[in-house]
Amino acid sequence: MSIELTKVQSIQSPGKDGINNSTMPILNGNEESNREKVIADGNGQINVGFTEIPDSDLNCKPDPKRLEPEDPEPEEKSYYQKAKPYLCTGFYILLVILYLIYFGWAMHFGQGDGASICLLILTLFAAFIILYHFLNNRLKLNDQIANNVSERMQTYTGEKIRTYCRWFMIALALAVVIWVIVEVAIKQPNNLISLAGLAFYLIVFYIFSVERKKVKWYTVFWGLMIQLIMAIIIIRTQAGYDAFEFLGEQVSDFLTHSDKGAEFVFGAKYEDHLMAFKIFPTIVFFSSIMSMLYYLGVMQAIVLVLGRSISFCMDTTPAESITAASNIFVGMTESPLLVKPFLNDMTGSELHAVMTGGFATISGSLLGFYSNFGAKPQHLLSASVMSAPAALALSKLLYPETEISKASVKDYGKIGKGSEKSLLDAASRGASQAIKLVANIGVNLIAFISILSFVNAVLMWLGDRVHIEKLTFEKICSYVLYPIAFLMGTAQDDCLQVAELIGTKTFLNEMIAYSRLKKFVDNRRIFDNYTNYYNMTDDWTQIGRDIFLNQTGTTLVGGIMEVRSEIISTYALCGFANIGSMGIVLGGLTILAPQKRDIIAQTVVRAMIAGNVACFLTACIAGLMIYQ
Q: Is the pLDDT of residue 439 over 60?
A: yes
Q: Is residue 135 very low, low, confident or very high in pLDDT (cuts 50, 70, 90)?
A: low
How high does pLDDT run on average in the chain? Answer: 78
Mean pLDDT score, 318-331: 83
Q: Which helix (H) or strand (E) holds 556?
A: strand 554-556
pLDDT at 449: 83
20 forms beta bridges with 14
Q: How many helices (H) and strands (E) does the chain have?
A: 23, 8
Q: Is residue 24 very low, low, confident or very high in pLDDT (cuts 50, 70, 90)?
A: very low
- Full residue range of the structural domain in which residue 106 is found: 90-139
What is the β-pairing status of strands 46-50 and 36-40?
A: antiparallel
pLDDT at 34: 45
Q: Is the pLDDT of residue 596 over 50?
A: yes
Residues 194 and 228 in one domain: yes
Q: Is the pLDDT of residue 613 over 90?
A: yes
For the stretch 269-288, pLDDT in tens is 888 887 788 888 888 888 88
Mean pLDDT score, 596-601: 89
519 vs 241, more confident = 519
Q: Which helix (H) or strand (E) holds 395?
A: helix 377-398
Nearest to 621 by CA among 228, 188, 235, 328: 228
Number of Cβ atoms within 10 Å of the Cβ of 167: 10
Residues 323 and 237 in one domain: yes
The percentage of residues in the chain with a pLDDT greater than 90, rounded to a whole number, is: 17
Residues 129 and 164 in one domain: no
In a domain, 436, yes or no: yes
Where a domain ends, among 16, 36, 67? 67
Q: Is residue 8 very low, low, confident or very high in pLDDT (cuts 50, 70, 90)?
A: very low
Amino acid letter for position 246:
F
The percentage of residues in the chain with a pLDDT greater than 70, rounded to a whole number, is: 79
CA 505, 592, 323, 221 torsion-angle sign:
positive
Q: Give DSSP secondary structure letters for 275-314.
A: IIIIIHHHHHHHHHHHHHHHHHTHHHHHHHHHHHHHHHHH
Q: Is the pLDDT of residue 600 over 70?
A: yes
Q: Is the pLDDT of residue 25 over 60?
A: no
Mean pLDDT score, 589-607: 88
Residues 587 and 615 in one domain: yes
**Long-range CB contacts (within 8 A, 24+) of 253-261:** 255/282, 255/285, 255/286, 255/367, 255/368, 255/371, 257/285, 258/282, 258/284, 258/285, 258/286, 258/368, 261/285
244-270 b/e with 16+ CB inside 10 Å = b?
A: bbebbeebbeebeebbebbbeebeeeb
Q: Is residue 4 very low, low, confident or very high in pLDDT (cuts 50, 70, 90)?
A: very low
Our CA angle for 192, 197, 202, nearest 5°, is 130
Residue 613 near residue 484, CB atoms below 8 Å: no
Q: Is the pLDDT of residue 550 over 80?
A: yes
Our CA angle for 141, 142, 144, nearest 5°, is 65
Residues 98 and 247 in one domain: no
In a domain, 254, yes or no: yes
SS3 content of the chain, % helix, strand, coil (to 5): 70, 5, 25
**Of the candidate ranges 377-391, 531-545, 563-577, the one whose mean pLDDT is the lowest:** 531-545
513 vs 60, more confident = 513
Classify 490 as helix, strand or coil.
Answer: coil
Most confident of 254-263, 295-304, 501-510, 608-617: 608-617
How many domains, in total, are found in the chain? 3
Most confident of 315-319, 520-524, 552-556: 520-524
pLDDT at 270: 85
pLDDT at 338: 77
Q: Is residue 41 very low, low, confident or very high in pLDDT (cuts 50, 70, 90)?
A: very low
The Cβ-side half-sphere exposure at 171, using a 13 Å CA radius, reads 6
pLDDT at 23: 42
For the stretch 469-519, pLDDT in tens is 888 888 898 899 999 999 999 998 899 999 999 999 998 888 889 988 999
Where a domain ends, among 32, 67, 102? 67
Mean pLDDT score, 14-27: 44
In a domain, 546, yes or no: no
Residues 152 and 282 in one domain: yes
Residues 154 and 23 in one domain: no
CA 609, 227, 584, 339 torsion-angle sign:
negative
Residues 33 and 122 in one domain: no
In a domain, 542, yes or no: no
Task: List CB contacts of 570: < 8 A, sequence separation 6 or more.
Answer: 375, 376, 379, 380, 383, 517
Nearest to 596 by CA among 336, 337, 355, 351: 351
Residues 242 and 119 in one domain: no
Residues 39 and 164 in one domain: no
In a domain, 218, yes or no: yes
In a domain, 81, yes or no: no
Residues 129 and 246 in one domain: no
Residues 117 and 158 in one domain: no
In a domain, 535, yes or no: no
3-state SS track over 155-189:
CHHHHHHHHHHHHHHHHHHHHHHHHHHHHHHHHCH
Number of Cβ atoms within 10 Å of the Cβ of 38: 15
Q: Is the pLDDT of residue 180 over 50?
A: yes
In a domain, 257, yes or no: yes
Most confident of 123-127, 157-161, 392-396: 392-396
Q: Which helix (H) or strand (E) holds 546?
A: strand 546-549
User: CA-to-CA distance for 57 and 525, rounded, in angstroms?
Assistant: 95
Distance of CA 148 to the CA centre of its chain: 28
User: CA-to-CA distance for 308 and 409, rounded, in angstroms?
Assistant: 9
Nearest to 361 by CA among 393, 327, 395: 327
Q: Give DSSP secondary structure letters for 12-59.
A: EEE-TTS-EEEEEEPPTT-GGGS-EEEEE-TTS-EEEEE----GGGTT
